A and B are shown apart, each in its own frame.
Chain A
């Protein structure tokens, strides 16, 4: 083209960056032919495109050869300036599947507008999603036939990405808020619950849509069950945020369960302490009652104050010994042999013979038998087998299905007399044992000494 004609064209096409590119391009090498052969209509269109404020591209002729303005050059990115004069399918093969059908319709005369259309473009080598609001309209030749496609657009990628970012942040915030709300509600309900384990189990099952929710001390791994701390729950497809939330929920629930357990244990301990105090009071008062009685009854046969004192203190000592033994071992029961040895401790062991397998007595039975053995022993020391070297005492016992039989047998006693009146000792053996323990007893004064049978029912054995 002659230089002046170029100057003229330059004036016609304005002074934009793309104007120079368009003027300098070798159009003769394209299906459009040299520029001087272009119709005034086409030139006017190109002028309009170049001077337009929106990105715009004209796809001219049946091969849709590209002519575009400064705005569109920016959209082309790395494809500019190579895209000028290229058939659009050659320039944009990656979106031909979208654009091809659209162009076909526009060539038929349609106008097509898309808002925020998605175009995965390879502008800088690799594919990247881009969004455009754009309109495709037909370009006509002098005869009115459609001879190309005019595309006017705004790229909305930045807005779409910002909206996406905002939606995502919003969703995350909502999710965080929901998690926080669940944890708060869990804490509130756990604080008020009498049964934190049940409450937590129900709430966690409902919130996550999980089943088999349970708290276990040493959880064993189970197929298909998630284990978090001491919590197990079954559900398909746990997500990472769900697992994180479940961990927090489990931590709170376990703390509440632990606290409830500690409180219950403390309550039990206090109740037990109250019970112990009541029992102690009961025992002390009953003991005082019995001691009062011993004091009173020790006067029955005492010749003088010294005799009274010895009798009373002897009985009190026996009572005190068995009380101490009962307190030492409240649940285990007391060994019959030990009780006998305690009461016979003061007497020479030479003439003593104990025979029987170990047998344990309940505290009340031990207490009464102690008093009975004390009376038998002091009597034997005064009148019977423990009075002098000649006497022998054998105590034997055996257990059968009905209970315990104890035989206290004194021998070698020269002058046995049957007492004429019921003393305190005989009363204990013959009446108190029967009344208090359901025992049956028999006292036989035989020619060479006393024989005392005591039968205790099985319920008195520990």
Chain B
């Protein structure tokens, strides 16, 4: 049998909805990933770095947040956006990033993370 998709990889999760965060964490754990978080605030997430990759919600408590994405970009850490908004909300500098529309499917999210980590 193949090794799990995210075996031994740490994945930081930023998501302000408890149940969605839990769902994401379950998906990641099932794929062999080691979850850092989940966090509902950018400050808490920044303090928990480093990570191998990340899943980032965009709208946190009513505000668009790209601070963590900018930091990860600087550090060359791959990440996937997850949002209920359309991809059009992404600023130009992050427009090329993988984008997972909520509600998300396991295969889709894990596939995107694997591609990003490659």
- Residue numbers of A with Cβ under 8 A of B are 278, 281-286, 288-290, 292-293, 431-432, 435-436
Give A288's nearest chain B residue, CB to CB. B103
Whether A290 contacts B84 by the Cβ 8 Å rule is no
Give B57's nearest chain A residue, CB to CB. A286
Whether A290 contacts B19 by the Cβ 8 Å rule is yes
Chain A residues closer than 8 Å to B8, beta-carbon distance: none
Specify which of B17, B20, B85, B104 lies most central, judged by the most chain A CB atoms within 10 Å of its CB.
B17
Besides A278-B89, A293-B20, 20 more A-B contacts (Cβ < 8 Å) are A278-B85, A278-B86, A281-B84, A281-B85, A281-B86, A283-B84, A284-B84, A285-B102, A289-B19, A289-B84, A289-B102, A289-B103, A290-B19, A290-B20, A293-B19, A432-B19, A435-B21, A435-B40, A436-B18, A436-B40
The CA of A278 and the CA of B38, in the complex, are separated in Å by: 25
Whether B84 contacts A293 by the Cβ 8 Å rule is no
Judge whether B67 is part of the interface by a CB distance below 8 angstroms: no
Please, what's the 1-or-0 string for B80-115, where 1 marks a CB less than 8 Å from any CB in chain A? 000111100100000000000111100000000000
Chain B residues closer than 8 Å to A436, beta-carbon distance: 16-18, 40
For B101, give its contact among A278, A285, A290, A431 (CB under 8 Å).
A285
Whether A289 contacts B18 by the Cβ 8 Å rule is no
Chain B residues closer than 8 Å to A278, beta-carbon distance: 85-86, 89
The CA of A446 and the CA of B84, in the complex, are separated in Å by: 42
Judge whether B59 is part of the interface by a CB distance below 8 angstroms: yes
The CA of A435 and the CA of B39, in the complex, are separated in Å by: 9
Give B41's nearest chain A residue, CB to CB. A438
- 14 A–B pairs (Cβ distance < 8 Å), ordered by A: A278-B89, A282-B83, A284-B84, A285-B101, A288-B103, A289-B20, A289-B84, A289-B102, A289-B104, A290-B17, A293-B20, A435-B38, A436-B17, A436-B18
The CA of A323 and the CA of B21, in the complex, are separated in Å by: 21
Chain B residues closer than 8 Å to A288, beta-carbon distance: 102-103
Q: Looking at the assembled complex, report how far the CB atom of B82 sits from the nearest CB atom of chain A, in whole angstroms.
A: 10
Chain A residues closer than 8 Å to B59, beta-carbon distance: 282
Q: Looking at the assembled complex, report how far the CB atom of B37 sits from the nearest CB atom of chain A, in whole angstroms.
A: 11
Whether A282 contacts B19 by the Cβ 8 Å rule is no
Q: Looking at the assembled complex, report how far the CB atom of B45 sits from the nearest CB atom of chain A, in whole angstroms.
A: 14
Whether A431 contacts B84 by the Cβ 8 Å rule is no
The CA of A274 and the CA of B90, in the complex, are separated in Å by: 15
The CA of A147 and the CA of B102, in the complex, are separated in Å by: 123
Please, what's the 1-or-0 string for B10-40, where 1 marks a CB less than 8 Å from any CB in chain A? 0000001111111100000000000000101
Chain A residues closer than 8 Å to B102, beta-carbon distance: 285-286, 288-289
Chain B residues closer than 8 Å to A284, beta-carbon distance: 84
On whether A285 and B18 interact (CB within 8 A), knowing A292-B103, A435-B40, A436-B40, the answer reads no
Chain A residues closer than 8 Å to B22, beta-carbon distance: 293
Chain B residues closer than 8 Å to A435, beta-carbon distance: 18, 21, 38, 40
Q: Looking at the assembled complex, report how far the CB atom of B6 sits from the nearest CB atom of chain A, in whole angstroms.
A: 21
Specify which of B17, B18, B85, B101 lies most central, judged by the most chain A CB atoms within 10 Å of its CB.
B18
Q: Looking at the assembled complex, report how far the CB atom of B62 sits from the nearest CB atom of chain A, in whole angstroms.
A: 8
For A289, give its contact among B23, B85, B86 (CB under 8 Å).
B23
The CA of A286 and the CA of B58, in the complex, are separated in Å by: 12
Q: Looking at the assembled complex, report how far the CB atom of B46 sits from the nearest CB atom of chain A, in whole angstroms.
A: 18
Chain A residues closer than 8 Å to B101, beta-carbon distance: 285
The CA of A218 and the CA of B42, in the complex, are separated in Å by: 50
The CA of A380 and the CA of B101, in the complex, are separated in Å by: 37
